[in-house]
Amino acid sequence: MHKTIYGAFAGDICGSTAEGLPLSASFPLFDEEMGITDDSILTVATMDALLAAGPFEEGEGYKKKLQSALVENYVRYYEENPEPLGGYGPMFAYWCRSADHSPYGSKGNGAAMRVSPVAYWARSREECLFLASYVAGVTHDDPEGTKGAEAVALAVYLALHRASKEEIGETMENYYPGSYSKAAETYRSGHRSALASLSVPEALAAFFLSSSYEEAIRLAVSRGGDTDTEAAIAGAIAEAYYGSPSFPLAVAKVPSYLGPVYLPVVEAFEEAVERNYDVIVIGAGSTGSLLARELSFFALKTLVVEKSLDVGDATTAANSAIAHSGYDPVPGTKKAFHNVRGNKMMAETCKKLDVPYGPIGTLTVARSKDEEKTLEALFERAKENGVEARIVDKAWLKENEPNLTDEAVAALYCPTGGIVNPFLLAAHAMENALDNGVFLRLGEKVISIAKEGSGFLVTTDHGNYWARVVIDAAGTAAEEIARMVDPDLGWHLIPRKGEYFVLDHFGGGFVRHVLFPLPSEKGKGILVTPTTSLNYLAGPTSEIEEDPDDAATDTLTLEEVRKAATSLVPTLPWKEAIRVYAGVRATPSTHDFIIGPSEKEPHFLLAAGIESPGLVSAPSIAVELREEVGKILPLHKKEEAKDSIRPYVHPLTLSKEERDALVKERPSYGKIVCSCEKVSLGEIEDLFRRSLPCLTVKAVKKRTRAGFGKCQGGFCQPQVLLLLAKHNHLDPLAVEYGNAESPILLGKAKKGGAK
């Protein structure tokens, strides 16, 4: 369903005939007697003025341009419709008819009723408040009138950017004490006033007491105060908070009330909001997601476009989950720089994003005197790259890695290497970015990029978007994307497939470090490593693959993995293998990461060829690309931006007493959905309450581990599917496993059974 900006209009229409008439909250919606009032007309006029003024810019020049457009539009809209349903406020009507359009010091709610569009126009909380004061200032320059406009605009902005009701409420308490903490009392106040100081907190209370977009409007109207304005305010906040698809009747009915005069302006405003961005990031793997997070700290309107139905769904989801120390890359390369810096950033990044991380160290194993010589060369490279390392002998290995092959004579030990959960690194980074106001389009494939004006028009299979800066972080598709801008690239990508075994949890500490063989021209070789989820991985192979989307495995290649892994750890219990998988990474022809501006278009930035050690490098790459954006666009820190997410509840890490208390308070944490991985219903429900959409069974699996255990979803998958269907308002037949062509259910069984 099309996402609309109809909240203020829906509330205004539903409240247009109820002023001063307390009603039952079950009153009919959108009947024939209802219509738009001055609230809707001036909200459209505000949209029109914002379109004329363009994106916010600092300084008096932009303020004058916007306020000039506001005055012109308010007067023109009044003259074109001087007698709407309910009329205009007398002070505003006099102002429109006067030759003097100076502000008239109103304390009323007129600015608050028309201000909601600025929340969609603003790129930061600070911009939102500036714009709200500009909108109010052309008429309502009294502090009370301005405060009402700022409070409403900020409430819509916070709701739009996924703040909780508690967060919105705490902010509104600074404007109107009691509007949240005593919402029920405020709502029942009995005021029937057009003063902002009385009607705005009542409208806020209606939103805080609601459980849906529709209910917020019903509550605002049924109290019988200044119903059109209070419902317009409550409706604007509620639509931003609950989403327009949650009130399909409003989406269907509002256009007919706006009619051919006002609807085109609203649609143009919606298109401008949805179409125009400062930055577009193509790709939401670990690099794209951490880049989105980095950009979210600044007053930029950023969009991420991802062809999969979830973030981190390709290379990020199918790698070795290693935080490499940085001993291996050639000194002086971007790989070496970002590997080492990214490794230093990883622990703090994971802490803020609630991502499992284990600095367990890596061992690169030599099994002969000749290999020891290669080890010495790697040690010298580690020193040149600034990586802590030392060579350990056979006795050290016997004591610290007892299941390692007896053939091991020495190893390069890098204590800063480690393991990380790649699924959650991408997902939680994107969640943080979305919490800070970044926009995300999942399931959209970019099909063309064209230069348009001072930026680029990015066309997907779902629509068109424009931005001053476009960043190509498309993984194995990065070359295809880059050639849309520069057909004569001086580099290309070589897809390489790696196949793996996953072994179930067994024998904690069976392998204590990440174990590498000596690297070859194909890469770091087939490793054996524990994971942050206490499984073990063996792999990967490294073979050139023509199809970058081919993630199939084959018996002969897996046997190669088994043989190589066994040569490192002879007693590896293959009976514990529960899954095999493959991933494709993009090896650059340059043998180095390709990061920075395109040679042809400096506003088109590249993050291509991000193969191993790309996962650990991603936080560092994000910083470099943000710095490149700063050379093109002004970067202003957003005061409200957070660098961490709301912590997740991890029942398995709690003591029995803590778990019992949790289950007593929230019983869903005591209902186990996935028995293999001990994943509770409460954890899945919490996932659904996050800002990052959860659309597929695989998304739930990656973020909670439901389906990752020994039965591989054989028991929990049906329940997960039904939970997804309910959460996303889908027919269970429409729920996908992972991509847009992976349904689990093919049809409904016939009623009855065999006789």
- Residue 578 is predicted with a pLDDT of 97
Picking from 481, 490, 471, 477, the residue whose alpha carbon sits closest to that of residue 605 is 471
Determine the Cα–Cα distance for residues 267 and 51; give it in Å rounded to an integer: 11
The mean pLDDT of 228-233, rounded to a whole number, is 97
For the stretch 160-171, pLDDT in tens is 988 889 999 999
- Residue 740 is predicted with a pLDDT of 84
Q: Is residue 156 part of a domain?
A: yes
Contacts of 224 (CB under 8 A, 6+ apart): 18, 19, 20, 21, 22, 23, 192
Q: Is residue 233 part of a domain?
A: yes
- The identity of residue 429, as a single letter, is A
Whether residues 602 and 683 share a domain: the answer is no
The mean pLDDT of 52-61, rounded to a whole number, is 93
Q: Which residue range is the domain that position 682 belongs to?
A: 651-734
Q: Is residue 743 part of a domain?
A: no
Other Cβ atoms within 10 Å of 633 Cβ, number = 17
Strand 514-516 versus strand 577-588 pairing type: unpaired
Residue 540 pLDDT more than 50? yes
Other Cβ atoms within 10 Å of 381 Cβ, number = 19
Residue 347 pLDDT more than 80? yes
The single residue listed with the structure tokens 């348009």 is: 452
Picking from 412, 405, 374, the residue whose alpha carbon sits closest to that of residue 390 is 412
Residue 535 pLDDT more than 70? yes
310 or 370, greater pLDDT: 310
In 453-474, which positions are buried (b, 16+ CB within 10 angstroms) versus exposed (e)?
Answer: eebbbbbbeeeebbbbbbbbbb
- Residue 23 is predicted with a pLDDT of 84
CB hemisphere CA count around 600 (13 angstroms)? 11
Whether residues 261 and 311 share a domain: the answer is no
- Residue 695 is predicted with a pLDDT of 96
- Residue 752 is predicted with a pLDDT of 54
Query: Would you report the helix, strand and coil content of the chain in percent, each value rounded to 5?
Result: 45, 15, 40
Picking from 298, 306, 300, 161, the residue whose alpha carbon sits closest to that of residue 241 is 161
In 283-318, which positions are buried (b, 16+ CB within 10 angstroms) versus exposed (e)?
Answer: bbbbbbbbbbbbbbbbbbbbbbbbbbbbbbbbbbbb
- Residue 523 is predicted with a pLDDT of 62
- The identity of residue 367, as a single letter, is R
Pair of tokens at residue 462: 């779902």
Cis status of the peptide bond prior to 245, with omega within 30 of 0:
no
Determine the Cα–Cα distance for residues 184 and 466; give it in Å rounded to an integer: 44
58 or 695, greater pLDDT: 695
- Identify the weakest region by mean pLDDT among 59-63, 604-608, 746-750: 746-750
Picking from 301, 2, 272, 5, the residue whose alpha carbon sits closest to that of residue 159 is 5
**Helices 227-242, 38-53: inter-axial angle, 10-degree rounding:** 50
The mean pLDDT of 395-404, rounded to a whole number, is 97
Determine the Cα–Cα distance for residues 711 and 418; give it in Å rounded to an integer: 28
For the stretch 16-35, pLDDT in tens is 999 888 888 899 999 999 99
The pLDDT-based confidence of 676 (bands split at 50, 70, 90) is very high
CB 43 within 8 A of CB 117: yes
pTM of the model: 0.89
Q: Which residues pair with 523 in a beta bridge?
A: 520
- The identity of residue 296, as a single letter, is S
Determine the Cα–Cα distance for residues 741 and 419; give it in Å rounded to an integer: 32
Q: Is 637 helix (H, G, I), strand (E, B) or coil?
A: strand
Whether residues 303 and 332 share a domain: the answer is yes
The single residue listed with the structure tokens 């005061």 is: 639
Residue 497 pLDDT more than 80? yes
Sign of the C-alpha dihedral computed for residues 668, 648, 616 and 619 taken in this order: positive
Picking from 399, 392, 397, the residue whose alpha carbon sits closest to that of residue 413 is 392
Residue after which a domain boundary falls, among 576, 611, 646: 646
Helix (H) or strand (E) holding 132: helix 125-137
- Residue 682 is predicted with a pLDDT of 97
Sign of the C-alpha dihedral computed for residues 459, 465, 471 and 474 taken in this order: negative
Kindly report the CATH number assigned to the domain that includes residue 206. 1.10.4080.10
Determine the Cα–Cα distance for residues 106 and 92; give it in Å rounded to an integer: 9
Whether residues 128 and 211 share a domain: the answer is yes
Q: Is residue 752 part of a domain?
A: no
Q: Is 462 a catalytic residue?
A: no
CB 465 within 8 A of CB 280: yes
Q: Is residue 456 part of a domain?
A: yes
Residue 470 pLDDT more than 90? yes
Residue 755 pLDDT more than 50? no
Kindly report the CATH number assigned to the domain that includes residue 672. 1.10.10
Kindly report the CATH number assigned to the domain that includes residue 621. 3.50.50.60
The mean pLDDT of 221-239, rounded to a whole number, is 96
- Residue 522 is predicted with a pLDDT of 58
Kindly report the CATH number assigned to the domain that includes residue 387. 3.30.9.10
User: Considering 140, 161, 324, 513, which one is annotated as catalytic?
Assistant: 324
Q: Is residue 753 part of a domain?
A: no
The pLDDT-based confidence of 508 (bands split at 50, 70, 90) is confident
Average pLDDT along the chain: 95
Q: Is 301 helix (H, G, I), strand (E, B) or coil?
A: coil
The mean pLDDT of 231-253, rounded to a whole number, is 96
Sign of the C-alpha dihedral computed for residues 446, 447, 451 and 457 taken in this order: negative
CB 151 within 8 A of CB 204: yes
- The identity of residue 130, as a single letter, is F
Residue 521 pLDDT more than 70? no
Strand 276-282 versus strand 464-472 pairing type: parallel
Whether residues 46 and 157 share a domain: the answer is yes
Whether residues 540 and 639 share a domain: the answer is no
The pLDDT-based confidence of 190 (bands split at 50, 70, 90) is confident
Q: Is residue 390 part of a domain?
A: yes
The mean pLDDT of 320-325, rounded to a whole number, is 97
CB 614 within 8 A of CB 639: no
Helix (H) or strand (E) holding 577: strand 577-588
Whether residues 16 and 95 share a domain: the answer is yes
Picking from 134, 152, 108, the residue whose alpha carbon sits closest to that of residue 50 is 134
Whether residues 322 and 374 share a domain: the answer is no
Whether residues 572 and 691 share a domain: the answer is no
For 129, 326, 339, the CA distances from 343, given in Å and listed in that order, are 39, 8, 6
CB 444 within 8 A of CB 305: yes
Whether residues 230 and 336 share a domain: the answer is no
DSSP assignments along 148-165, one per residue: HHHHHHHHHHHHHTT--H
Pair of tokens at residue 175: 């404007």
Determine the Cα–Cα distance for residues 123 and 547; give it in Å rounded to an integer: 40
C-alpha radius of gyration, the chain, whole number: 29
- Residue 1 is predicted with a pLDDT of 42
Determine the Cα–Cα distance for residues 71 and 48; give it in Å rounded to an integer: 11
CB 328 within 8 A of CB 656: no
Residue 754 pLDDT more than 60? no
For the stretch 60-78, pLDDT in tens is 999 999 999 999 999 999 9
The pLDDT-based confidence of 329 (bands split at 50, 70, 90) is very high
Pair of tokens at residue 599: 């040679």
Report how many domains make up the chain.
4
CB 41 within 8 A of CB 258: no
For the stretch 115-141, pLDDT in tens is 999 999 999 999 999 999 999 999 999
Whether residues 171 and 153 share a domain: the answer is yes
DSSP assignments along 423-475, one per residue: HHHHHHHHHHHHHTT-EEEES--EEEEEEETTEEEEEESS-EEEEEEEEE--G
Whether residues 481 and 542 share a domain: the answer is no
Q: Is residue 749 part of a domain?
A: no
- Residue 750 is predicted with a pLDDT of 73
In 476-503, which positions are buried (b, 16+ CB within 10 angstroms) versus exposed (e)?
Answer: bbbbebbebbeeebeeebbbbbbbbbbb
